[in-house]
Amino acid sequence: MKRGILCAALASVGVISLLGGTAAAAPTDNTDSARSCAGVRLTGSLPVPPAGMAVRQTVTIGPDCAPRKGPVRYVPATESATTTTTRSLAATDPATRHVRSWNEMYDCCNIRMTGLYTTSDWTVDNGRIRTAATTATQGFNREPWDAGWSLKSSTSKQDCATDCAVVNAVADADFTYKGIFDVTGQWYANTHHSSVQLTADGTPTCTFDVNLKHTFVGWNWQHGCE
């Protein structure tokens, strides 16, 4: 099934995106089964970029089910992140820092299906992290008739909150799909994992992975932080 045909099929059945994404088609009797891939795990790690910048990377599922890594790109941060960073850099006693991460799975029409997002804020004083807090949110597509992707479970935790040398913040989200392209609810499941290591010296790192029960050629994983 060509990408254009698949996208047309999505539109023809009236799939709508309530939260910014949709599901790719599951294999059917007339679909080339070789274009469906099972048990795919994608991983990546990115350094938090300088103030006012974002770092991102896209990984696409190739025709042989192998991941095709795109380049790591540095681009201007979003306006909200830039405003927060500017305000953070202005604080001196203690220094306040902020990092946002995203971990998203898109279908072959480049429409988001599932996503995990984290926001971390921490203050630094005398070479130590005085306070740290991380929040996690999730996004997923729903279809008409109470169908589509659903959030099965989610967790968010960090190993230290006050007077820390380093803080490791971890978030997970499990999504399942039951809808137009798989009425059984047994074919698709996406599990996202994101972690951010917060440091007092301003060199945090974002790490990501996603496990796909089944995927389709052309699905792509977009992740980054700012």
What integer pLDDT is reported at residue 164 of this predicted model?
96
> Angle at the Cα of 66 (from 20 to 7), degrees rounded to 5?
35
Please state which of the ranges 34-38, 49-53, 108-112, 143-147 shows the lowest mean pLDDT. 34-38
Question: Looking at the predicted structure, is the pLDDT value of residue 13 above 60?
Answer: no
What integer pLDDT is reported at residue 131 of this predicted model?
96
- 204: preceding bond cis by omega (within 30 degrees): no
What integer pLDDT is reported at residue 29 of this predicted model?
37
What integer pLDDT is reported at residue 2 of this predicted model?
42
Q: Which residue has the tokens 């599990």?
A: 191
Q: What is the pLDDT of residues 177-192, one digit of tens each?
A: 999 989 999 999 999 9
AA identity, residue 70: G
Find the helix or strand (DSSP H, E) in which 6 lies. Answer: helix 3-12
Q: What is the pLDDT of residues 26-57, one digit of tens each?
A: 333 333 444 688 999 999 999 988 888 999 99
Q: Report the sign of the C-alpha dihedral through residues 8, 9, 11, 12, in that order.
A: positive
Q: Sheet of 36-47: strands edge to edge?
A: 36-47, 205-216, 189-199, 166-178, 147-158, 142-143
Which of 103, 86, 90, 2 has its CA nearest to residue 51? 86
Which contacts (CB < 8 Å, 24+ apart) does range 117-122 have? 118/156, 118/169, 118/171, 118/194, 118/196, 120/167, 120/169, 120/196, 120/198, 120/204, 121/96, 121/97, 122/96, 122/97, 122/167, 122/198
Question: Looking at the predicted structure, is the pLDDT value of residue 123 above 70?
Answer: yes
- Do 38 and 26 form a contact (C-beta atoms < 8 A)? no
CA pair distance 142, 147, nearest whole angstrom:
6
Q: What is the pLDDT of residues 54-96, one digit of tens each?
A: 999 999 999 999 999 999 999 998 854 444 443 333 334 458 8
CA pair distance 181, 220, nearest whole angstrom:
18
What integer pLDDT is reported at residue 25 of this predicted model?
33
- Report the Cα 181 to chain-centroid distance in Å: 22
What integer pLDDT is reported at residue 204 of this predicted model?
84
Which of 112, 218, 104, 97 has its CA nearest to residue 169? 97
Average pLDDT, the chain: 82
Q: What share of the chain is helix, strand, coil (3-state, %, to 5)?
A: 10, 55, 30
The DSSP secondary structure of 100-152, one letter per residue, reads EEEEEEE-TTS-EEEEEEEEEEEEEETTEEEEEEEEEEEEE-EETTTEEEEEE
